[in-house]
Structure 1
């Protein structure tokens, strides 16, 4: 497979996998990823679908890139469109489950899939996701550490989403603790070299 085709295919599959992972965590009902707490809260308050809210928030975050002088790539735009479109389909297909064991299984599967999907779309080097660019842009403009900026953004997002009615819980905390190490493990296995 030509390298360009592989990069684009991996990008789309990674973004679709990311959307499915979001849906798995939402269906587990034990909390959501930080930004999804906000998406849930906004969906509850506006009556818009979860995927539509995800697209709109992604678009607004991209507008914040302008004063931060961040530059989107094709992967950045695809991130907003593919994830937003796919997550509603995934939520329609993945059933709500009963029983704590099944819910934990959905959550764990969602967290691991999310890390693999993140590594897959980052690994092709076609542009960061909107929220990642927001983090790096703020860090560059303020001179603060990425860790501090990321933590501040996610605390604000989770708190706002929770106040709007989004689900904060065990998965929110487990995701925050586990996703970094998991992405670090998956990333070398998913990175596509642009040139030999």
Structure 2
């Protein structure tokens, strides 16, 4: 997420959403992300999604880690490096999703929506893309940053996660990861 923000070419939908809220409230993106995580977990109830250690760790660590990475990463000035940040960041998010969901410790708050929908029979790539589209619309209306990187993210994140997650999921963790 930090790479996408530093690239300045448009953020992922959840970051667009948190940016929009941060702009309206004056809170940092990491603080907003933490609060959004708590609210999103409430949306799990109708999906019968169960939290796990990964849920709590994701909710508590992603926001502060985002703030730290934004502080530590340089802001690239050349278009080539900005595009590189984008091209590393997008598949990096898909890979990270597959790695942490694949061990079966429970999805993070945002990914729990995707895995909850998968448990109901919605294909992973479609559930991920639908959730991202809804969040992007809300973030855009709140003033979050959208650009070509956002379009790229929306086009490829669902299929990338749909490809990566089953390949990185341990056999005993398939149900927790939202896989059949």
The interval holding the TM-score normalised by the smaller chain is 0.7 to 0.9
3-state SS of the aligned residue for 2:43?
A: helix
1:138 shift after superposition: 5.3
TM-score by length of 1: 0.76
Distance in 1 (CA, whole Å) between partners of 2:142 and 2:161 is 29
Q: 2:18 aligns with which of 17, 21, 39?
A: 39
* Equivalent residue pairs, number: 173
Once the two structures are superposed, the pairs formed by residues 178-193 of structure 1 within 5 Å of their partners are 178-183=156-161, 186-187=164-165, 190-193=168-171
Comparing 110-119 and 89-98, the one that deviates more: 110-119
Distance in 1 (CA, whole Å) between partners of 2:81 and 2:73 is 12
Residue 124 in structure 1 maps to residue 103 in structure 2: yes
Distance in 2 (CA, whole Å) between partners of 1:146 and 1:188 is 10
Number of the residue aligned with 1:171: 149
Residue 83 in structure 1 maps to residue 62 in structure 2: yes
* Structure 2: tracts of 5 or more residues without a match: 174-180
Contact in 1 for aligned 2:113/2:131 (Cα 8 Å): no
Comparing 129-138 and 182-191, the one that deviates more: 182-191
Q: 1:161 aligns with which of 128, 139, 146?
A: 139
Number of the residue aligned with 1:6: none
Number of the residue aligned with 2:39: 60
Distance in 2 (CA, whole Å) between partners of 1:100 and 1:46 is 31
More helix by share: 1
Contact in 1 for aligned 2:40/2:109 (Cα 8 Å): yes
Distance 1:72 1:144, change over 3 A: same
* Structure 1 vs Structure 2 CA RMSD: 2.6
3-state SS of the aligned residue for 2:146?
A: coil
Distance in 2 (CA, whole Å) between partners of 1:32 and 1:156 is 15
* Structure 1: tracts of 5 or more residues without a match: 1-21
Contact in 1 for aligned 2:18/2:29 (Cα 8 Å): yes
